[in-house]
Structure 1
Amino acid sequence: MAQVLEFKLPDLGEGLTEAEIVRWLVEVGDVVAVDQPVVEVETAKAMVEVPCPYGGVVTARFGEEGTELPVGAPLLTVAVGESAAEPEGSGNVLVGYGTSEAPARRRRVRSAAAANGQAKSAPAPSAAAPSAPAPSAPAAPAPEPVPVSSAPAPAPEALRCEGPVPVISPLVRKLAREGGVDLRQLAGSGPDGLILRGDVEDVLRAAKAAPGSRTAGAPGAAASAVPTPPAPASSAPRAAGIRVPLKGVRGAVADKLSRSRREIPDATCWVDADATELMRARAALNAGGGPKISVLALFARICTAALARFPELNSYVDLDAREVVQLDHVHLGFAAQTERGLVVPVVRDAHARDAESLTAEFARLTEAARTGSLTPGELTGGTFTLNNYGVFGVDGSTPIINHPEAAMLGVGRIIPKPWVHESELAVRQVVQLSLTFDHRVCDGGTAGGFLRYVADCVEQPVVLLRTL
């Protein structure tokens, strides 16, 4: 007889604990192959297609598009062929998640129609004996979990026996504790009775609407009452407007920038530079045939040369050890604006790349950012960030450091401006450069020296010949 295997949201690496379902790639009843992508999820780092380690027929999906699931929550169930032996996974790995280990739980296959029929005909369990079968009924297997989209309402009188209460996340447990909700008297609406955040919030809303007459398990039952949450200080309604949840990429950016502001005592210095010769050098390089060199790649090449002279800025602060850790490699991050928000892809070993290689890698990562296909590994591990905000038509900025890095170089737009050149007033291509740095790793002299060297290379690209 076929077995139904449960596939859970895998560990996506980099400390990520949850993901949002963006798009299902399979329907219930579809046949899937081993390692076939079944769902596209968005984490705080990137958009990821999740492959299923089992081959068979999809019998259930858990979670609608737009739902956030924690790592380890059920994604779908797959009915595999008849086999008495323990099934094996594909052996492949998804960002730190091995699929070679078979899941511990097994279930029998039954049709959705049978499940719905049984749910409609079965009487609600009594509060005194919620799990006692009818005297004449034969022993039956444990009930199947029902997908979120088609789950019947749980019996409100059901009470939980002793043992751990299945809760979807510690946040839900905290919410229940602060609101005085007894989780053991709460019937969850998730798979296998899993208690979701919405279940707790429903009870709290019911208790607020009728203080003292609602229970922690279900509205209307005669159990212990839930205390009414404290009323807000102001009785005025919340201001009207569009509310956008801080989650996914936007939420991760908010958390990281807030942490940077809390932990890093940053300072900013800036300088205007004549980029006329740099733009002429780029035009000459591109006129010679071969791949075109981007302006961003030239600034990246200048950055790596400057970091070789001022390694203090290619470092991070180890707070536990109270040490500044200088790094011997440059993984260069660069800010890229996408429809999903700001992301910072990382060019690995930028110090070992020439202008052509840097141009190609910038193009590849930028395209991946636009399509949402960057991997978590391509979004982490940066040691220094280059921020080309000039593409937005602005001259200057005081950027926030990309925690835990020590500095960020900002590049404004390059535009014609009046400039004193060789003791005469002329129209030159001018750019404003800004450096935001962690004042714990160096003082203003080091930061100023770095920025002045960058400006010298912009004004006289021949200076770079010393580092070739």
Structure 2
Amino acid sequence: MAIQKSTPAVDGVHAFKLPDVGEGLVEAELLTWYVKPGDTVADGQMVCEIETAKAVVELPCPFSGTVRELLAAEGETVEVGSVIITVDDGTGGSGSGSGSGAGSDSRSGDAADTAEEAAPEAAETEAREKPLVGYGEKAAATQRRARRRPTPSGPVSPPAPRPTEPAPTAVPASGRPLAKPPIRKLAKDLGVDLGAVAPTGRDGIVTRDDVRAAAGGEATAAPVSSEETAVVPQTASTTDRSARERRVPIKGVRKHTAAAMVNSAFTAPHVTEFLQVDVTRTMRAVARLRERRDFADVRVSPLLLVAKALLMAVRRHPEVNSSWDEEAQEIVVKDYVNLGIAAATERGLVVPNIKDADAQTLPELAASLKALTDTARSGKTSPADMSGGTITITNVGVFGVDAGTPIINPGEAAILAFGQIRDMPWVHKGELKIRKVTTLSLSFDHRLVDGELGSKLLRDVGTALEDPELTALAWG
């Protein structure tokens, strides 16, 4: 990964800005620092690991020298274009990694000041700094607009504080405490009067901790009257429920996946068709392939033959391998297949794709599938590996699921769900037998794929799995 050395050095100190590592992303979470102030780094050395909305990426430092300061903490979300680390190359008049005396240049004492001084000079030489990959960073840092205070229509008296509690320290002019809807609900559940809570949040906003602290104080300070006795069990139950809940921030891969799925579900008109298939011969073919020498270093699974069957069917029906260009009002039919494989990881669902999968032999496709899944499970899938997909397979069968209605990946026309393979009674050659059976589910964008085309594609995938050897001979 190449990083542009676009920020000029000030007294030998270089400021390294967070680059855009994939398709116009505007922020990333800094997961881990590999270096600390005082460490010596070389040009190209990996200094940190970040998580974007698409993948986990290691960043190489574009400078050599001594680390002056780390300007972002682990776990912090940083905007693209923000300085995250400064490096002293030792060429400055007063800056060095070992420090200086009291009479030295004041800029050597604070790396953050150095980064601020470098910014105006950088702006003169580059009106807008080009990102590493993608469409650009934010034009300006996001600023929070000041909250407008409502103007009271008449004199309003704030609620009187309870005798056993101190008066609130900040109440807006309207007389209504400032709190977000979830905090108001929490206060209502816990029986806390927001008007009597001392806010500690910014601009006098009541926080969740403020409400919980007030609830705890009330429990010990005020005796419960006979009229309130009936609601005490409900309040206690509510408190226990809150204590047994966990809140997970929506960010990174999960945030990107959620946004993409919502966009797809409400943009492309989805249609899903189902087909049960006798895959007994496919399972026998898998067993034979595992014994062959050219498949010794890869894992041969039924998914490999499902992928091959889909690629052969797409060759017969290329219109399925297309996308909808809303701006140009055109359908883009692609003469290549970048086959996406949905993979569940610790950081959420990712869909890397095999480039030009249609041009690969079966052993090459098996090797590509292994490399793709190994990389995804290790959390090292790059943004490039997840961009440009044309059609996708999701293997829900590994979770013991028979079928589903998968949501199409944005920019694609179809997605195939592969269900679990089960022993089922099946009529084979006029007799009832126990056969290996699976269910295929094909979701497609009805703007691009009509019912006839979708049915033909699904039928051809099923036919290829019913007799993979005969299909390979017939279709080439």
Verify same fold: TM over 0.5.
Answer: yes
Counterparts of 1:373 and 1:231, CA distance in 2: 38
Deviation, structure 1 residue 176:
2.1
Deviation at 1:288, TM superposition (A): 3.3
* 8 Å contact from structure 1 (residues 301, 355) kept in 2: yes
Match of 1:237 in 2: 186
Work out whether residues 331 and 349 of structure 1, in 8 Å CA contact, stay in contact via their aligned partners in 2: yes
Contact 2:53 2:252 in 1 (8 A): yes
State whether residues 36 and 51 of structure 1, in contact with CA within 8 Å, keep that contact through their aligned partners in structure 2: yes
Worse-superposed segment, 283-292 or 406-415: 283-292
For structure 2, list consecutive stretches of 5 or more residues without a partner in the other structure.
Answer: 1-9, 114-136, 150-167, 190-241
Task: Classify 1:33/1:233 alpha carbon distance in 2 versus 1 (closer, same or farther; 3 Å).
Answer: closer
Asked whether the 8 Å contact 1:2–1:80 carries over to 2, the reply is no
Pair 1:274-2:223 in alignment: no
Instruction: Give the structure 1 partner of residue 64 of structure 2.
Output: 55
1:335 and 2:342 correspond: yes
Q: Distance in 2 between matches of 1:49 and 1:305?
A: 37
Distance 2:288 2:97 in 1: 70
Matched residue SS, 1:7:
strand
Encode CA deviations 1:86-124: one digit per residue, 9 max, x unaligned: xxxxxxxxxxxxxxxxxxxxx95587898xx99xxxxxx
Across the aligned residues of Structure 1 and Structure 2, the Cα RMSD in angstroms comes to: 3.2
Task: Give 1:345's aligned amino acid.
Answer: P
Which residue of structure 1 aligns with residue 15 of structure 2? 6
The residue identity in structure 1 corresponding to 2:145 is A
**Could you give the per-residue CA deviations for residues 404-455 of structure 1, whole angstroms, max 9, x where no partner exists?**
1110011001111111101110000000001000000121111111101111
State the SS of the aligned residue for 2:365.
helix
Percent identity between matched residues is: 40
1:393/1:209 Cα in 2 relative to 1: closer, same or farther (>3 Å)?
Answer: farther
Q: Give 1:290 shift.
A: 2.6
1:354 maps to which of 361, 364, 371: 361
Instruction: Quote the residue 2:266 is aligned against.
Output: 262
Which amino acid in structure 1 is aligned with residue 251 of structure 2?
A: K
State the shift of 1:294 in Å.
2.8
Deviation of 1:13 (Å): 2.7
Q: For the residues of structure 2 that align with 1:24 and 1:421, how far apart are their CA atoms?
A: 61
Q: Is the 8 A contact 1:43 1:248 kept in 2?
A: yes
Pairs aligned (count): 366
Q: What secondary structure sits across from 2:402 in the alignment?
A: coil
Residues 1:176 and 2:185 are matched in the alignment: no
**What is the rounded CA distance, in whole Å, between the counterparts of 1:34 and 1:288 in structure 2?**
46
Partner of 1:363: 370
* Residues in 1 aligned to 2:343 and 2:398: alpha-carbon distance in whole angstroms: 10
- Go from structure 1 to structure 2 and tell me whether the alpha carbon gap of 1:297 and 1:212 turns closer, same or farther (over 3 Å shift): same
Does residue 1:249 correspond to 2:253, yes or no?
yes
The answer to whether the 8 Å contact 1:32/1:55 transfers is yes
1:451 to 458, 461, 468: 458
Separation in 1 of the partners of 2:320 and 2:29?
A: 36
For residue 58 of structure 1, report the CA deviation from its aligned partner.
0.5
- One-letter code aligned to 2:378: T
Looking at structure 2, the residues matched to 433 and 61 of structure 1 have their Cα atoms a distance apart, in angstroms, of 51
Deviation at 1:8, TM superposition (A): 1.0
The alpha carbon displacement at 1:291 in A equals 1.2
- The DSSP-based 3-state class of the residue aligned with 2:266 is helix
Task: Find the aligned partners of 1:139 and 1:301 in 2 and give their Cα distance.
Answer: 67
Identify if the C-alpha distance between structure 1 residues 463 and 141 changes in structure 2 by more than 3 Å, giving closer, same or farther: closer
1:249 CA drift (Å): 0.5
2:342/2:352 contact within 8 Å kept: yes
Amino acid at match of 1:407: A
* CA distance in 2: counterparts of 1:454 and 1:78, whole angstroms: 56
- State whether residues 276 and 439 of structure 2, in contact with CA within 8 Å, keep that contact through their aligned partners in structure 1: yes
TM-score by length of 2: 0.71
Kept in 2: contact 1:312–1:442 (CA 8 A): yes
Q: CA deviation at 1:175?
A: 3.1
Gap runs ≥5 in structure 1: 85-106, 119-137, 148-167, 182-207, 214-226
Structure 1 residues 33-432: aligned runs within 5 Å: 33-82=42-91, 108=95, 144-146=110-112, 173=142, 175-177=144-146, 179-180=147-148, 210-211=170-171, 232=181, 235-237=184-186, 240=242, 241-292=245-296, 293-432=300-439
* Residue of structure 2 equivalent to 1:192: none
